[in-house]
Chain A
């Protein structure tokens, strides 16, 4: 097979890699992208998109089921309880994923990016070999972008297989597990655990830390804990998974008081984190500096090797698709000769639990740890008209600002649908807004976004609706 030579070679067509390739193509850079699986990576195939599809389906089902039970204050009732065909739900989800897969491929082609299907292995820093269906393809490039992403962490005493599944398998279950135990109370475990609870599974969450979602402060997590209780989800904090029971139908757990428990389970979902895919063939021969398990990069995503970039999960926390996308776009522009550098002020993070948690910039504690004197303003959704009309008054919006000049350092929210406020939060921080800027911006009524304006007013000491 003839060798391909190109200017930019992107390895991995996840959100970081495909965005990088599309942007490079737009800028006229001769670009090739290599992907072993389907385009879109973890995010599109087994992460963000399918999980949100499942979460949405679960929410709808949960609502209708409550209406059928005659519990709806909206005056809506059903004569018979709804039924769930999980296989159909998963097929619908797969349809969305499929549409997006072909969408990404189309965008790459439109940007004149050559797509090579297969697994890439480094021969040297500028050459890779790809095992394709039609044989070995050698690609030489002036610049290489490693965007190989991450995969779920496996616990040595609880290897994947049989009843033990990762998030990938959880998103493709065609039959609902009657009893589901989730090991790991981070955002992936809680999102999926909540969804399965709404679909009708009996869910137990096992978390080693003292609180679920340990990366968030207690105030933000409290509404989520309350909702988990309402949904009947059992939460064991300070508890360690010890392994499968001998029959393979239960998980052994040690709680904080030192007692062992046996949790019956049809499925055990392990979501204890993700690790970078650095086991790519030939990568070890490249002598790339590491930062812990990740590849070390500078503010232009350059690795320690000239002409080799790395983006996305392989470069470390936060392992979020939108971070990878922003890095990919930047690297493409650098490859095209433009002057770019990573100078983002915040990477918003969303937790699609019920209710949702949104965080951008610094929390009050983080700001104080950085030696900053802050003023904090908080406005509850219980005083927001739109929240009342949607039967979801739990949660609040919080503003963290510098005490000396009111520049916004951080914005957090917890509540139904607050993920859609991420744009406003990130924009305010990137623009260097002061609290007065948010307070002086007319916010549409009636929306949840009004809570942002009110929280800003509260920070200034004159909230209007509380």
Chain B
């Protein structure tokens, strides 16, 4: 009678570890040969681990969810008539498996206290270093080796030297080039940059990342792009700006768009809503609180112009300016950055003909503004220069059907193209 240790098999794909997702046995269970004991998951697939022996499970080395290193002991089975040769050091059962997985980093090879004797030849030696030298430390290599490396685009800090005191030889560089290290693109031109910088996601950027992941992974988006002739609206805007009262703010396109949205929402209130998908509840709002995606020095924020349904165009513009300034200077209040019911995103200033906006979760619609440009438009008899602008809008396809999304955007288009309609009371 002896114990047979089953280790995490090499599941291929070049992975060094896998996540344990399922146990089919527990200590005390009898197992047959080929019976599935557990399942592990790599990035790409779930792999079942069969038993090579028959016996009784005596120990399991990981819990579901643990990451287990390849070759770490996974479970032990007592097998009648099996000699485990436990004196051979095979038994590693006392080591917690998850800890073994975590304790895998390779030891740094640099600066041992005693100068090591040089291996007689570098053949078969590992070419890349276990970990690259820091920027401040220069690799030890002769000028000719350094030149060869530069010409081949090899960063010598990544190469393990087999010479005395870790000196990098010509052979080390050749081996690095041929042993799976990426080949240089060309012998001339800029050198490849092999630097990898790891930046921990924190603060604002982390919040943005989480929100975007939530939105993109939970909401099936449908995006709809339409072009709008802004020529008439631009004429109106110019006139209004020219004749505005001293206390009136300068109008951009956004207040017109906001007012147009209010009008369109009156016909299609379903787009001015949030969706709680955990509880399957849509909240449809009478108030139109429009979020304005704003780039700030610390990242993307969305200040909210509240109750646009109750604001005239000048109010919209004034509030928009106030909030954008507050967001950029970091003085916006928490209430001013939450509670939107629909959002506008504008990358128009940077150009681009279309975007695929990501909905501001848990809302169901977002309207994207692209750059306005003068384009030739066929009026039936000739090409005329018109100020054209694309709207790129996304909708939560669970809630808004494609037909409704298109209808909504077309309504906004009509309002913007005939701007008098924005101001006419229905």
- Which A residues form the contact surface with B (CB < 8 A)? 337-341, 343, 345, 404-407, 430-432, 434, 436-437
With A405-B165, A405-B166, A407-B165: A431-B113 Cβ-Cβ less than 8 Å: no
Inside 8 A of A345's CB, which chain B residues have their CB? 138
Q: Are B115 and A434 in contact (CB under 8 A)?
A: yes
State the Cβ distance, B116 to closest chain A Cβ, in Å: 9
Measured in the bound complex, the distance between the Cα atoms of B188 and A436 in whole Å is 38
Which of B142-150, B262-270, B303-311, B346-354 is near enough to bind chain A? Answer: B142-150
* Contact among B113, B138, B140, B191 for A339, CB-based, below 8 A: B191
With A337-B188, A339-B151, A437-B164: A405-B111 Cβ-Cβ less than 8 Å: yes
Measured in the bound complex, the distance between the Cα atoms of B153 and A434 in whole Å is 27
Describe B's contact surface by its main secondary structure.
Answer: loop
State the Cβ distance, B257 to closest chain A Cβ, in Å: 42
Report B320-337 residues with CB < 8 Å from chain A CB: none
Measured in the bound complex, the distance between the Cα atoms of B163 and A343 in whole Å is 20
Task: Indicate if B112 sits at the interface (CB-CB under 8 A).
Answer: yes
Inside 8 A of A430's CB, which chain B residues have their CB? 142-143
Q: Are B140 and A404 in contact (CB under 8 A)?
A: no
Other than the given A339-B151, A339-B153, A432-B167, 19 more pairs (CB < 8 A) read A338-B188, A339-B150, A339-B187, A339-B191, A340-B150, A343-B138, A343-B150, A404-B112, A405-B112, A405-B115, A405-B165, A405-B166, A431-B143, A432-B142, A432-B165, A434-B164, A434-B165, A436-B115, A437-B164
Chain B CB within 10 Å, residue with most, of A338, A340, A341, A343: A343
Q: Are A341 and B150 in contact (CB under 8 A)?
A: yes
Measured in the bound complex, the distance between the Cα atoms of B161 and A434 in whole Å is 14
Inside 8 A of A436's CB, which chain B residues have their CB? 115, 164
State the Cβ distance, B147 to closest chain A Cβ, in Å: 8
Task: Indicate if B141 sits at the interface (CB-CB under 8 A).
Answer: yes
* Contact among A337, A340, A404, A434 for B111, CB-based, below 8 A: A404
Measured in the bound complex, the distance between the Cα atoms of B165 and A34 in whole Å is 47
State the Cβ distance, A429 to closest chain B Cβ, in Å: 10
Measured in the bound complex, the distance between the Cα atoms of B188 and A338 in whole Å is 6
Inside 8 A of B150's CB, which chain A residues have their CB? 339-341, 343
Q: Closest chain A residue to B147 by CB distance? A: A340
- Which B residues form the contact surface with A (CB < 8 A)? 111-113, 115, 138, 140-143, 146, 150-151, 153, 163-167, 187-188, 191
Measured in the bound complex, the distance between the Cα atoms of B165 and A340 in whole Å is 26
Measured in the bound complex, the distance between the Cα atoms of B165 and A426 in whole Å is 19
Inside 8 A of B142's CB, which chain A residues have their CB? 430-432
Measured in the bound complex, the distance between the Cα atoms of B140 and A73 in whole Å is 48
Would you mind naming 26 contact pairs between A and B with Cβ atoms under 8 Å apart? A338-B151, A338-B188, A339-B151, A339-B153, A339-B187, A339-B188, A339-B191, A341-B150, A343-B138, A343-B143, A343-B146, A404-B111, A404-B115, A405-B112, A405-B165, A406-B165, A407-B140, A430-B142, A432-B142, A432-B165, A432-B167, A434-B115, A434-B165, A436-B115, A436-B164, A437-B164
Inside 8 A of A404's CB, which chain B residues have their CB? 111-113, 115
State the Cβ distance, A406 to closest chain B Cβ, in Å: 6
Q: Closest chain B residue to A340 by CB distance? A: B150
State the Cβ distance, A372 to closest chain B Cβ, in Å: 10
Measured in the bound complex, the distance between the Cα atoms of B148 and A340 in whole Å is 10
Q: Are B140 and A432 in contact (CB under 8 A)?
A: yes
State the Cβ distance, A341 to closest chain B Cβ, in Å: 6
Measured in the bound complex, the distance between the Cα atoms of B165 and A153 in whole Å is 45
State the Cβ distance, B150 to closest chain A Cβ, in Å: 5
Q: Closest chain A residue to B184 by CB distance? A: A339
State the Cβ distance, B90 to closest chain A Cβ, in Å: 37
State the Cβ distance, B199 to closest chain A Cβ, in Å: 24
With A339-B150, A339-B151: A432-B188 Cβ-Cβ less than 8 Å: no
| A-B residue pairs, 4 tightest by C-beta | A405-B165, A432-B140, A431-B142, A405-B115
Inside 8 A of B167's CB, which chain A residues have their CB? 432
With A339-B188, A345-B138, A432-B140: A406-B115 Cβ-Cβ less than 8 Å: yes
Inside 8 A of B138's CB, which chain A residues have their CB? 343, 345
Measured in the bound complex, the distance between the Cα atoms of B167 and A437 in whole Å is 12
Inside 8 A of A343's CB, which chain B residues have their CB? 138, 143, 146, 150
State the Cβ distance, A333 to closest chain B Cβ, in Å: 10
Measured in the bound complex, the distance between the Cα atoms of B112 and A437 in whole Å is 19
Inside 8 A of B165's CB, which chain A residues have their CB? 405-407, 432, 434
Inside 8 A of A339's CB, which chain B residues have their CB? 150-151, 153, 187-188, 191
Measured in the bound complex, the distance between the Cα atoms of B146 and A341 in whole Å is 10
State the Cβ distance, B318 to closest chain A Cβ, in Å: 42
Inside 8 A of B146's CB, which chain A residues have their CB? 343
Measured in the bound complex, the distance between the Cα atoms of B298 and A194 in whole Å is 64
Q: Closest chain B residue to A432 by CB distance? A: B140
Q: Closest chain B residue to A345 by CB distance? A: B138
Inside 8 A of A434's CB, which chain B residues have their CB? 115, 164-165
